[in-house]
Structure 1
Amino acid sequence: MRDSYFHWNLHAMPDQSGRRIIVTGASSGLGAIMARELAKRGAEVVLAVRDVVKGQRVAEKIRASRPDARVQVGAIELTNLKSVRAFASRMTALDKPIDALILNAGVGNQPYVVTADGIESTFAANVVGHFELTGKLLPLLERGDAARVVSVGSNLYRRVKVDVDFSDLSFEHDHSPHGAYVVSKVATVLFALELENRLRESGSSVRSFIAHPGLSKTPMHNAVNGIVAKSVMAVAHATVSRNPEEGVLPLLFVATSAHAETGRFIGWHLRRSDKRIWSDEIRGVGLNHDLAQQMWEAIESVTAASEQDR
């Protein structure tokens, strides 16, 4: 199927009453906006956040605008697999089906740090933590109503070439802040597509989507360091960046619309004057099934080792 597009905005979002949705990274930026809009339309929303105080502030703002909003805040540190499992255990103990899991949290431009689980921190936050969370919550998603897992990608996966090697997730011998971020975004696309393949093969009713907000003005970009990088980001914000209220639309589209398609890369094109949400064919490295398998096995190895060390 060739590239196609949709004209879609918040007015087209269907009623979310009766749905239970988890949004990671919902204490600011795109995640906070998604939580607000989903709650406004009746969903029960769990804000899965690292900073609980900031998360509570977002929840309070949502309740102030809609007193009957059902929002909760849960602590999760995606770079710590023990924290991920603890969050998942709390959700499991509630014994409530999950209708959508939006894997929104992300970091970029981070200095080289290896987590306690032996994983480079950007890759841990953007990929491994979400991988583990999805696996632990899959039984609750299976009980949901046409449940969805939404991964947040980036056009960088097909625009920037980097060496991708998942044999060592500590990235000990080859690390740069930007390179680690790009690799994490390539991995996010591979994860979403491989998850969809595995769900279909198992006969699951859960679906896996990949969407991207384009370049949006979010707090994550405040971490850019260096004169050159800051200058490039300033030019990008001036020419192609979208405001977060617009950037979030493709993510909400795939989380709620019956027209969203799996196996596609859904989001904005570069021109911010183009207000269509595009559903593009997966290209380039995203089609590398062998690489997806290598990544999956590498992550399963480190998460299994971490669980054995508990």
Structure 2
Amino acid sequence: MMMANVLDRESTAEEALGKIDLSGKVVVITGATAGLGEESARVMAGAGAHVVITGRSQEKLAAVVERLRANSPDARVDTVMLELAEPESVRAAARRILEIAPRVDILINNAGVMAPPLERNSLGWESQFAGNHMGHFILTGILLPAIVAAAPSRIVNLSSSGHQIAPVNFDDPHFEHQDYDAFIAYGQSKSANILFTVALADKLKDRGVTVNAVMPGVVKTPLFRHIGGTGTIGSSGMFVKEIPQGAATQVWAAVSPDLEGVTGRYLEDCGFAPVNDDPASVATFGYRSAAMDKAAAARLWSLSEELAGERFDT
């Protein structure tokens, strides 16, 4: 009898996908011009999915399409320009995605930025909260009819153990009344990713859509460019993943039959993460109980709708 393939922190996206056939499925991936997004698009397009990828540069998007088709000549790929930190760009991108794909089987909210200098969008929102959370909140909200239409369907939100650095500051999420700290802002945005997951999973639990948050691990990607790369992190003893390993958990979350009906969870290393409420353990493994608090999740949902200036039908 053949043993089932056991996945762990060293597994790759291809191993997480296995022999699953995605023909006829539509997969939308944000931030797919490099790193985890591109690798996820590569393996899923190779499995027959129609992949819609977003990015901030038309030139980079075109280059990714060329690479994807070099890997899979018959790959079906569409591209959409998207600046997640700007709501009007998000709305325009969402409309374009709906034109391309009236049904969306899988949405992977992959894009993110980590610890940049203080920047604000056109509405004055702090850039990490704006891009890492609000952009994906608005995009997901607009795409919901297409996602529900494709049920059983899945939403995967990338978070990070960095959420352990800071919760959401509901009184001052944009650092208007406190000194800006790039890591606090990053931690807040990653906490928001989990709370958004919890709230949305609860709202969609009876509509055939699952929503889970993913910690990809410490991965050699451009995400770390603002803090000097992954070299210093690796020297601290933390396990640093290559890109194919880093993309494994989000691919697993998106396609694995083991996760059918599983929703509102925080995943890492192709498994279910444990609770880690040790205050001395910061940005390492597991999740803080507070990040799964339903009252905080509902409060974030209300704040997000207020900032977006619209309500989404869930």
Percent identity between matched residues is 32
Q: TM-score normalised to the size of structure 1?
A: 0.86
Deviation at 1:119, TM superposition (A): 1.2
Find the aligned partners of 1:11 and 1:150 in 2 and give their Cα distance: 15
Structure 2 residue aligned with 1:263? 264
| Letter aligned with residue 210 of structure 1 | A
Shift of 1:13: 4.7
Amino acid at match of 1:100: I
Task: After TM superposition, give the deviation of residue 166 of structure 1 in Å.
Answer: 1.9
Supply the AA of the counterpart residue of 1:264. Answer: R
After superposition, give the CA deviation of every residue in 1:203-238 in whole Å (9 maximum; x if it has no partner): 31111111111111111111215xxx98743524x6
Residues 167 and 298 in structure 1, CA contact (< 8 A), matched pair in contact too: no
Within-5 A mapping of 1:1-310: 7=7, 9-10=15-16, 12-94=18-100, 96-158=102-164, 160=165, 162=166, 164-174=168-178, 175-200=180-205, 203-224=206-227, 232-233=232-233, 235-236=235-236, 239-260=238-259, 261-268=262-269, 277-281=270-274, 283-304=288-309
Separation of aligned partners in 1, 2:75 and 2:231: 41
**Could you tell me how far apart the structure 2 residues matched to 1:149 and 1:6 are?**
23
Q: Answer with 133-142 or 110-119: which moved more.
A: 110-119
Matched residue pairs, number? 286
Aligned-partner Cα distance in 2 for 1:12–1:89? 32
Unaligned residue ranges in structure 1 (runs of 5+): 269-276
Aligned to 1:272: none
- Identify which range, 25-34 or 163-172, moves more after superposition: 163-172
User: How far does residue 52 in structure 1 lie from its aligned partner after superposition?
Assistant: 1.8
CA distance in 2, matches of 1:197, 1:281: 20
**Residues 168-220 of structure 1: CA distance to partner in whole angstroms, max 9, x if unpaired?**
332212321111101111111111111100112xx311111111111111111
Q: Compared with structure 1, are the counterparts of its residues 254 and 305 closer, same or farther at alpha carbon in structure 2 (3 Å cutoff)?
A: closer
The verdict on how the C-alpha distance between 1:151 and 1:230 changes in structure 2, with shifts beyond 3 A counting, is closer
User: Bigger shift: 36-45 or 48-57?
Assistant: 48-57
1:274 alignment counterpart: none
* Partners of 1:169 and 1:182 in 2: CA distance: 11
> Would the alpha carbon gap of residues 140 and 11 (structure 1) be closer, same or farther in structure 2, given more than 3 Å must change?
closer
Q: Residues 13, 252 of structure 1: CA spacing in aligned structure 2 closer, same or farther, 3 A cutoff?
A: farther
CA-atom RMSD in angstroms: 2.2
Distance in 2, matches of 1:27 and 1:180, equals: 24
Q: Distance in 2 between matches of 1:239 and 1:81?
A: 36
List gaps (5 residues or longer) in structure 2.
276-287
1:61-105 C-alpha deviation (Å, 9 max, x unpaired): 111121110011110100000000001111223352110110000
Cα offsets for 1:264-285 (capped at 9, x unmatched): 22112xxxxxxxx221255421
Query: Aligned equivalents of 1:183 and 1:98: distance in 2?
Result: 29
* Cα distance in 1 between the residues matched to 2:226 and 2:292: 31
Contact 2:16 2:249 in 1 (8 A): no
1:157, CA displacement in angstroms? Answer: 2.4
Amino acid at match of 2:273: D
